[in-house]
Amino acid sequence: MLKYFFRRLLSFIPKILIITILIFIGLEFVPGDPISYLIPPEQMAFMTEETIANMRENLGLNDPAYIRYFKWLGNILKGDMGYSLINGVKISDIIWTRLPATIELTALGFAVATILGLLFGFISALKRNTPIDYSLTALGMVGVSIPEFFFGLSAIVVFGLTFRWLPPGGRMTPGQPGFFQRIPYLVMPVLVIGISYTATLMRYTRGSMLDTMNKDYVKAARSKGLSETRVNLVHSFRNAIIPVMIIIVNRIPILIAGTVVIESVFNYPGMGKLILESISGSDMPVVMIATFFIALAVLIASFLVDLLSALLDPRIRFGKM
């Protein structure tokens, strides 16, 4: 298992490097002088052209591209990501302010959707061709068909404006930053994120469970006199969840994309809303760094799922699948 872990960890490194190269190339094509997102705007306003030229030389901006790339990568590793073109604030400060909000929203939405999707898919497979199965399948089709922003707007109108049970947007009440005080603000966006993801995952879980329940080893386990609960959970569900986990990790980018929309709908101050605000303001350095963190989150999630899949199925880590 350790050999598999280090092999997957080593494959993680070139992927990150490729992402940083793409971001660096994108920054190279940003209109304007690169020094404009390395120096605070208020400081640059009082600088002469000669001073700027000397600073370009001192900062190595006249160096070849590959040298500038490694310097830029080193600055990122040290936490120096440059400055926003809009307000002159350090990009690192902006990221560390917005990132926890997105992690909180995405993690809760992912957890709720995964638990409900696996549970409903498991129940639907066990109750195949019954009213319960038909009802869950119909709900799944509705969840997949209707866009997330429509669910979000509907939830705001019904629960935020009509009944006033929940706040229609934002992340917290001023002066009350605690997690439990934030729960009312999280309920609607978390559930809206989970609706379509739950529906998709439920369908895949149901199909995988039905396929696994017809396998010979499951029939053999049942013929040995094992209880239906043990057969369904240990022999069927444990093996059915392995291909479903691949679907889970492949849906993470879609979940993150949905988070961008949901943060905009609910005025939630996370990375998704930051990207939209930065695109609107042509603040490309912020867009690039925010995109890097989102891509990094996807890679980490993929890495963890690979390890979990290897724990569940030894054939994966021994290269037999």
Q: Residue by residue, what is the 3-state secondary structure of 188-251?
A: HHHHHHHHHHHHHHHHHHHHHHHHHHCCHHHHHHHHCCCCHHHHHHHHHHHHHHHHHHHHHHHH
Phi then psi for residue 216, to 5 deg, are -65, -40
CATH topology of domain 98-317: MetI-like fold (1.10.3720)
CB 268 within 8 A of CB 193: no
What's the length of the chain? Answer: 321
Q: Taking the domains of the chain in order of start, what are their residue ranges?
A: 98-317
Smallest CA-to-CA distance from 209 within 108, 136, 317, 142 is with 136
Q: 0.85 cut: is pTM over it?
A: no
> What pLDDT digit, counting tens, does each position of 250-282 carry?
677 667 766 778 888 888 888 888 888 887 776
Token pair, residue 16, equals 């990150």
In this predicted model, what pLDDT tens digit does every residue of 134-156 receive, in sequence order? 888 888 777 777 788 888 888 89
Q: Please name every residue paired with 83 in a beta bridge, in sequence order, or none if there are none.
A: 90
Chain segment 210-262, per-residue pLDDT in tens: 888 888 877 787 788 777 778 888 778 888 887 787 777 767 766 776 677 88
